[in-house]
Structure formats: structure tokens, C-alpha cells
Amino acid sequence: MKRTFYVGLLVALLALTFGTTLKADTITDGDIMLTASVTGSLATVTIQCLDAACSGFFLGDISLKGFTFTGSPTLNTAPSGFVLENGAQDNNAVGNGGGCNGTLTGKAVCFDADLPLTTVLGNSPITFSANITDGAVGDVLHVQVTGYDNNAGTQTEGGKGFAISDDLTGGTSVPEPGTISLLGVGLLGLAALKFAKA
């Protein structure tokens, strides 16, 4: 009985030790809600317009930083017209949807919008995600996103548009679902051992 308990405890500790954590947070900037998360293998940004005031803007580049990874990231999900780049963006750039500029390689991912811009912000969430390797989160995730009133990705004089660059403070670190699954399998194995001996 003691041996079974210790084996189960060991499996639980291994699950928590070798499992990865998920850092996630949501902020609202004006009428736009941004959610970002990073695990050991995936970096995700979701953007959603909460009011008619921001609906209809063309989305430019979107970047997420505040974490590290190794190797080259690969595109997981994004609307058509976006390619993934290793690095951050410059929200002061004019044209090309905000300008992924390759700074902070291995520390940021940037979803680069092709011109003409084709993704229109609406009331449904739009998700961007990148496959990463050895993802590790620093203290604060930071998200940048640009939006334009035209598909050329330029700020017209007196035209509408937005450029958001915000820290996602107050993020939480919780076990990733795979870690919880591993822990559950270990506990099920423990229960199976107990019933097998009975």
C-alpha cells in the first residue's frame, strides 16, 4: 500500500515538474479586446471588436512579445493574407500594415499582413497562433496591433485607425492542459494499482 502511494506521488510530481505552464491574460483597450497566451509550444493572440466603433477596420500586423523560444516559429493559425515572422514590429511604420521589422528574434512573433489588407475586424474573435519550441514566459506579455480605415495600410489624413501597444499585466500561470492530462493518467494508474491488489 505504501509503495503504491509513493509511486502515485512520484507520477504526480513528474507531471507537474515536466509539464509546461500556460501564461494568459486579456485586456480591453478602448473598444478592442486582446487575449494572449504562451505555452512551451504555442503563442496565441486573439483580437475582437466589442463595439460598432471599431468594426470595419482592416487589421495590419500583430505581434506578441515578452517570452523566449528557440529555433524558427511556424504559422499555426491566421486569417489568409498573413505570414509569420520571427521578431517584433514597429507601430510607427507607415504602410505594410505596421511593419514587422525582425527585431527581438527569438523573443517575439509577428503576424505580417500582406498588402492589400484583407482581414476586417468585426465582433467575432480573430485568432493568430504560432508553433514555437521551448517557449518560456517572462514576467509580462506585450501585444501590438494596428488597424486602418483603408486596405493600403496607411493612415490617411484625418482618417481613422488605431495602433495598440500594451502590456498584458496580471497574467496568470496555470498548468497547461497536457500537464493536467498527464497528472490524471498517473492518478488513474494509481487507482488501477489499488484495485488490482484488492
Question: Mind listing the pLDDT tens digit for each residue in 66-116?
Answer: 999 999 999 999 999 999 999 998 655 444 445 788 889 999 999 999 999
Lookup: cell for 140: 509580462
CA gap 169, 161 in Å, rounded: 24
The model's pTM: 0.74
Q: How many CA atoms lie within 13 A of 104 on its CB side?
A: 16
Contact 66, 141 (CB under 8 A): yes
Contact 42, 135 (CB under 8 A): yes
Residue type, 172: T
Strand-pair partners of 62: 111, 145
Task: Give residue-wise pLDDT tens across range 21-59.
Answer: 567 888 898 899 999 999 999 999 999 999 887 888 999
Residue type, 153: G
Contact 148, 155 (CB under 8 A): yes
